[in-house]
Amino acid sequence: MADAEEPEKKRRRIEDVTEKMAVDGGHRDGGCDWDGRWNHVTKFLERPGPFTHPDFEPSTESLQFLLETCTVLVIGAGGLGCELLKDLALSGFRLIHVVDMDTIDLSNLNRQFLFRPKDVGRPKAEVAADFINSRIPGCKVVPHFKKIQDFDDSFYRQFHIIVCGLDSIIARRWMNGMLISLLSYEDGVLDPSSIIPLIDGGTEGFKGNARVVLPGMTACIDCTLELYPPQINFPMCTIASMPRLPEHCIEYARILQWPKDKPFGETSLDGDNPEHIQWVFERAQERAAQFNITGVTYRLTQGVVKRIIPAVASTNAVIAAACATEVFKIATSAYIPLNNYLVFNDVDGLYTYTFEAERKENCSACSQVPQDLQFPSSAKLQDVLEYLTENASLQMKSPAITTTLEGKNKTLYLQSVKSIEERTRPNLCKTLKELGLSDGQELAVADVTTPQTVLFKLNFTT
Amino acid sequence: MAATKASKEQKYDRQLRLWGDHGQESLESAHVCLINATATGTEILKNLVLPGIGAFTIVDGHTVSGEDVGNNLNLIFWVLMVDPLDFNRAQAATELLQELNSDVSGNFVEESPNKLLDNNPEFFNRFTIVIGVQLPESTCLRLDSVLWSASVPFLVCKSYGLIGYMRLVVQEHSVIESHPDNALEDLRLNQPFAELKNHIQSYDLDSMDKKDHSHTPWIIIVAKHLERWLSEHNLQPPKNYKEKEAFRQFIREGIRKKENGVPEDEENFEEAIKNVNTALNPTKIPSTVEDLFNSEECNDVTSQTPSFWVMLRAVKEFALNEGNGSLPVRGTIPDMIADSQKFINLQNVYREKAMQDAAAVSKHVECLLQSIGKYIANRRCRCLGKNSSFLRVVRCRSLAEEYSVDTVNKDEITSSMDNPDSEMVFYLMLRSVDRFYQQHSRYPGKAKVYTALSLINVRLCIHPLCYDDCRYGAAEPHTVAAFLGGSAAQEAIKIISHQFVPFNNTFIYNAMSQTSATLQL
């Protein structure tokens, strides 16, 4: 769809959409401003310029909307989240919600500057909100110490713009799916007022990216899933019998020894518990000694067990700033928003690359067409399950497959509930034909990566 | 004491994984000077205080205005606590930045940089780096002159509307640990050193049992096949695509077959085939390092020569002697399918050779130091050997050179202007804005008066940009200040730690298009 359009047309469509963002009424009491407070911001909103959005009309109303009506949701109050909250508050946004399910850890303090040593253990969302609310007059940040999945569409619908500073691809995909589910179509035409722009930022060490997603219009998170390389998991045979790296020894202690030795009773391994890490570290050292492997350190152990990604204040500051700039642009229509992906890397000098990620025609999240599943009728359900998890464009985590047989809803396989897993496990070894599935049959698949089920259509190759 | 060390390790854990304990030590020994605690300035400093620099000093003679407060979280807090809006910006910023990290000591000087330069020009010599924000052209040039003579790195930063600007001024900055993103492996398969040759020799693929055969490291497999290829091809390794494909096929034929002729599942052979390109990389001294070897500083070593050049000279001596035209062996190999023993043994061959080479380099260092009568405390020859392919030296021109009519980089400017999307146009805009300020003591458009600007010797029709300049009216929007804050802080950290490579020498960020450019001016 996007491929066929000329750049000019595409540009206009994006401008149209940002123009028609629903601006609901509701007058708020400002009250805490002083002379010159918003000078920096008004210079953009009250003066025309040659690079502004074609539909932009300089006025005091833009500032008004920003200050009194525009409601923004920030997802994550960590490295990116703290920066985002500050950036938005200082750009004039006053109605901000923030969601984060975590509590503050000492290792956060090298970059999550809304937190102090005394806050360790408290919920990030709450401390962040307190800080901003108490120090920036007029700003009202509402915290939610919750998972994003704890909310449904009625919650998300209230926001004009959503900006994510997440550290999980699964969570991103879920958010992406949620906003896609909010889209409404009239006679097959997308209603622009149902679009909630999603600004997504991510960082890792000295690298980062920022992107603008207009659900239903531009490339969504799932359209570019291949950009995220799959997580490194060492093969079990290496861990179990052929370790070569210190990491293999650590994984051995974590995956094989812990469940066997149960060093702290039935408690599962908690990466944040220093005693647990110490135990894994010692076992890993023993194993390493057996195989003459050097390099097992406490720091490495913690890094492997917790899958730690190195992080510094500077990269988070840069990416959050880029995201906040986009939120500002979209909220005010003052400039054409980023279209649509920015990559940043400051390992060697400073490098940025901006490009337009393209929509995938058959994207499992946003293309609205049932996904094609090509299998011989003699294939086993296990084969389908593997495809759903291993395929680079799907990367599902623990898909639950259901279908309609003889007018009734039937669960073919579900992993997340033990009793159902046990009951449906035998189905994995059965062929699709044996399970009573026919050519063209629709399968509904649910997974943590999406709030809505994904529809697949079976195509028998033989 | 132990408690604080442990909690510091925890606090800084995420960044220690990037620059190590030694990098952190260099940060904690640093004293950074920030001139002008504007939004951009305090954002930069915040991103230096959080990772734990030793100390900072803010130099700023300005009092706080309402405009300032709107943009700066720290100052907003201060305003709430203290009623009159007439206290010094430097003091306000210092108090709040301190709060972000109790390990850092903060100081301030309520004075303009010009006054300091008048009364005490050596004031700035004590700093590890000086960061000047929103400074007028004349002040920048004065600081440039002083800091250049004192060899203190100078980072100039400016946010102007939706444009961010950084300029690094440092005579010579050496980097041993540049941490390149995609470094080629140093396997030496085209010229195996004696110990590697012997180790390869110890394998006899044909006589191995099935398990050993399929758990032999791919490096050995490639080496063995390469030996045969060389003997059959007049000692010429595979060079072009066709030959490499033939070589891959040759390796594939080495896969054992089952009784029915179907090849066994030997993943290590598949790895060998996949890694042929990597394996066949010739061992070569990179041109960047060759250039360093050929420079005057390397060849003309005296007691005044900085340590880096003495070390580099030692590496050169190694390459000319023990190295037989090659740099010290790096000593690392990638993980590969193999049983533990075979892998560890192979890894040790490379490791031990690296240690040997580092010891040889160390001897050369010793000789050099003796001959020039100098002492270097922390030599880190192992680190030097490991990073010898990645050594970098960054030299930035002074501002005086950039601004002088005789030495301005006209070529870079005019060739960039051929590209309509180039960020160079914003550089010119900023220069013209500075010129305007120099002449009128205010920025264009600040008082909502749109005036025409005169440009620096370049005839261009860029009226839309002049118009945009005036529109900005020296606005410093927070998100641009924050972007620059992160960028500049990281460049400062690179300068302080001598890890990772700083930019050379002008960086422009365009928040409108979310693009950037690095120009060498």
Summarised one tens digit per residue, pLDDT across range B146-175 is: 999 999 999 999 998 889 999 999 999 999
Taking contacts as CB-CB distances below 8 angstroms, the residues of chain A near B178 are 348
Q: How far is B183 from chain A (nearest CA, A)?
A: 13
Q: Do B12 and A110 touch (CB under 8 A)?
A: yes
Residue B476: predicted pLDDT: 75
* Residues whose CB is less than 8 angstroms from the CB of residue A384 and which lie 6 or more positions away in sequence, other chains included: A373, A375, A401, A432
Query: pLDDT digit string (tens) for A394-431?
Result: 999 999 999 988 888 899 999 988 899 999 999 999 99
- The single-letter code of the amino acid at A25 is G
Residue B96: predicted pLDDT: 85
3-state secondary structure of B376: coil
Residue A135 is nearest to which of B10, B73, B478, comparing CB atoms?
Answer: B73
Q: What separation, in Å, do the N-terminal and C-terminal C-alpha atoms of chain A show?
A: 31
A433-448 average pLDDT score: 92
Residue B68: predicted pLDDT: 60
Q: Do B501 and A338 touch (CB under 8 A)?
A: no
- Residue A340 contacts B, CB cutoff 8 Å: no
3-state secondary structure of B157: strand
Residue A1: predicted pLDDT: 36
* Token representation of residue B252: 């594939």
Question: Predicted confidence band at B73 (pLDDT cuts at 50, 70, 90)?
Answer: low
Residue B447: predicted pLDDT: 40
3-state secondary structure of B284: coil
> A374: which strand partners?
A459
Q: Identify whether A164 is a catalytic site residue.
A: no
3-state secondary structure of B156: strand
Query: pLDDT digit string (tens) for B284-327?
Result: 999 999 999 999 999 999 999 999 999 999 999 999 999 999 99
Query: pLDDT digit string (tens) for B350-359?
Result: 999 999 999 9
Residue B516 is nearest to which of A34, A319, A350, comparing CB atoms?
Answer: A350
- Closest by alpha carbon to A338, among A323, A321, A348, A352? A323
Question: Predicted confidence band at A117 (pLDDT cuts at 50, 70, 90)?
Answer: very high
Q: Do A312 and B480 touch (CB under 8 A)?
A: no
- Write out the DSSP string of A72-129: EEEE--SHHHHHHHHHHHHTT--EEEEE---B--GGGTTT-TT--GGGTTSBHHHHHH
What average pLDDT does the structure give for chain A?
A: 88
* A24-38, A164-178, B208-222: least confidently modelled range: A24-38
Question: Distance (Å, rounded) from C-alpha A188 to C-alpha A175?
Answer: 23
Q: Tally C-beta pairs within 8 A across A and B.
A: 233
Q: Do B479 and A328 touch (CB under 8 A)?
A: yes
3-state secondary structure of B194: helix
Residue A396: predicted pLDDT: 92
B385 to A302, B18, B247, B314, B407: CA distances (angstroms): 29, 20, 32, 10, 38
> A402: which strand partners?
A411, A444
Residue A369: predicted pLDDT: 82
Catalytic residue among A70, A139, A237, A323: A237
Residue A122: predicted pLDDT: 98
- Residue A40 contacts B, CB cutoff 8 Å: yes
Question: Distance (Å, rounded) from C-alpha A258 to C-alpha A250?
Answer: 11
Burial class (CB in 10 A: 0-12, 13-18, 19+), A184: exposed
Taking contacts as CB-CB distances below 8 angstroms, the residues of chain B near A206 are 18, 490, 500
Residue A224 pLDDT more than 60?
Answer: yes
Residue A131: predicted pLDDT: 95
Question: Predicted confidence band at A66 (pLDDT cuts at 50, 70, 90)?
Answer: confident
Residue A90 is nearest to which of B71, B101, B507, comparing CB atoms?
Answer: B71
A42-66 average pLDDT score: 62
Question: Predicted confidence band at A58 (pLDDT cuts at 50, 70, 90)?
Answer: low
Residue A291 is nearest to which of B65, B344, B518, comparing CB atoms?
Answer: B344
Residue B133 pLDDT more than 50?
Answer: yes
Residue B182 pLDDT more than 90?
Answer: no
What average pLDDT does the structure give for chain B?
A: 89
Question: Predicted confidence band at B89 (pLDDT cuts at 50, 70, 90)?
Answer: confident
* Token representation of residue A459: 């195509």
- Residue A229 contacts B, CB cutoff 8 Å: no
Higher pLDDT, B431 or B497: B497
Residue A190: predicted pLDDT: 87
Are B339 and B215 contacting, i.e. CB atoms less than 8 angstroms apart?
A: yes
In chain A, the residue whose alpha carbon lies closest to the alpha carbon of B338 is A242
Higher pLDDT, A136 or A109: A109
Question: Predicted confidence band at A393 (pLDDT cuts at 50, 70, 90)?
Answer: confident
Query: pLDDT digit string (tens) for B94-118?
Result: 988 999 999 999 999 999 999 999 9
